[in-house]
Amino acid sequence: MRRFKTTIVGAGNVGSTLAQRLVEKQLTDVVLIDRVTDRGEGKTLDLQQSAPIIGFDTKIIGTHEYGPTEGSDIVVITAGFPRKPGMSRDDLLKTNVEVVAEVTENIVKYSPDAIVIVVTNPLDAMCHTALKVSGFPKSRVIGMAGVLDTARFRTFIAMELDVSVENIHAFVLGGHGDAMVPIPRYSNVAGIPIPELLSQDRIDALIERTRNGGAEIVSLLKTGSAYYAPSAATVEMIEAIMVDKKMILPCSALCEGEYGIHNTYVGVPCKLGKEGLLEIVDVRLANPELEMLHRSAAQVREQSAKVDSMLAEMAALRKPSKKK
């Protein structure tokens, strides 16, 4: 029986932590690839040497070439430049479009049937990049965003109320950025809506902290960005796909009319299974909530338009000049 195979592109903190989580759970064989020669190889060798202690037999390969990635079922794109203090996700756009476009071309070449999970920021725009470059159906290009944003919201609610995180169910929509849209009335503690447990002032404070969750970590780390929570969020998506759970998770997906949003990647509730994105769950929103979601989507559309221009410029530069 063929084993499930996942490739992680980028052996930085997110990629290597994701690899560790996957092999220790023995979910899937893993290929960790990084364009920095020997970094993927070094990190996987270290992981392999932990296997006798932790107790796993998962196969893991480190490489700086795409050959060993061939035939992957899932490819996770973590490659790209992280945010530094004072940088917004928008500041990363141009540089990371080039990175994600190159990675996606190699995914198409070596794993044309793969499901692509994008982690690189600015996330929604990078999903747009991967979709355009790959030509894959939208079911096979999704972004890890809402799972992370929701986890942050759940964490802050649990801290505020001093209850177990397992009691918290939260709902965060919109782009992965400052315009994300936490929905308090669909968020609850053991079934109790949080507006019945917290004042509006406290809810607003938790929403604001959630929106700035990534920036808060960047400001504390000084030279890096979050990786424990993003890697855990990605594992949850991979497991939902691999086991065909049909689990509903908030992910960045291409909306084509859902929520009145067209041709735009944005965080929405998604049913995930063995084919990738099975369905976008269209939840009834109040007018103020829908307006916030549309504003968030509008920001993503602006970035996506810039991506289209950049991809067109890159394509033009590749065309051989005609000899006169």
pLDDT digits (tens, 9 = 90+) for 237-292: 999 999 999 999 999 999 999 999 999 999 999 999 999 999 999 999 999 999 99
Phi-psi region of 107 (alpha: psi -120 to 50; beta: other; left: phi over 0): alpha
- Segment among 65-79, 86-100, 188-202, 213-227 with least mean pLDDT: 86-100
Q: Among this protein's residues, is 128 annotated catalytic? A: no
Would you say residue 92 has pLDDT above 80?
no
- What are the residue boundaries of the structural domains of the chain, listed by start? 5-143, 146-305
From CA 44, how far away is CA 41, in angstroms rounded?
A: 5
pLDDT band at 324 (very low <50, low <70, confident <90, very high): very low
CATH of domain 146-305: 3.90.110.10
Fold for 5-143, please state it: Rossmann fold (3.40.50)
**Banded pLDDT at 322 (limits 50, 70, 90):** low
Q: What is the mean pLDDT of residues 128-146?
A: 97
Query: Residue range 189-214: average pLDDT?
Result: 95
Q: How far apart are CA 175 and CA 77, in angstroms?
A: 18
Identify any residues that bridge with 264 across adjacent strands, giving them in sequence order: 255
Q: Give the whole-angstrom CA distance, residue 146 versus residue 250.
A: 4
Domain 146-305 in the same topology as domain 5-143? no
Beta bridge partners of 280: 270
pTM: 0.94
Write the CA distances from 278 to 12, 52, 123, 209, 242, integer angstroms: 30, 38, 20, 31, 13
Tell me which of 128, 169, 176, 294 is the catalytic residue.
176
Query: Are β-strands 115-118 and 5-9 bridged in parallel, bridged antiparallel, or unpaired?
Result: unpaired
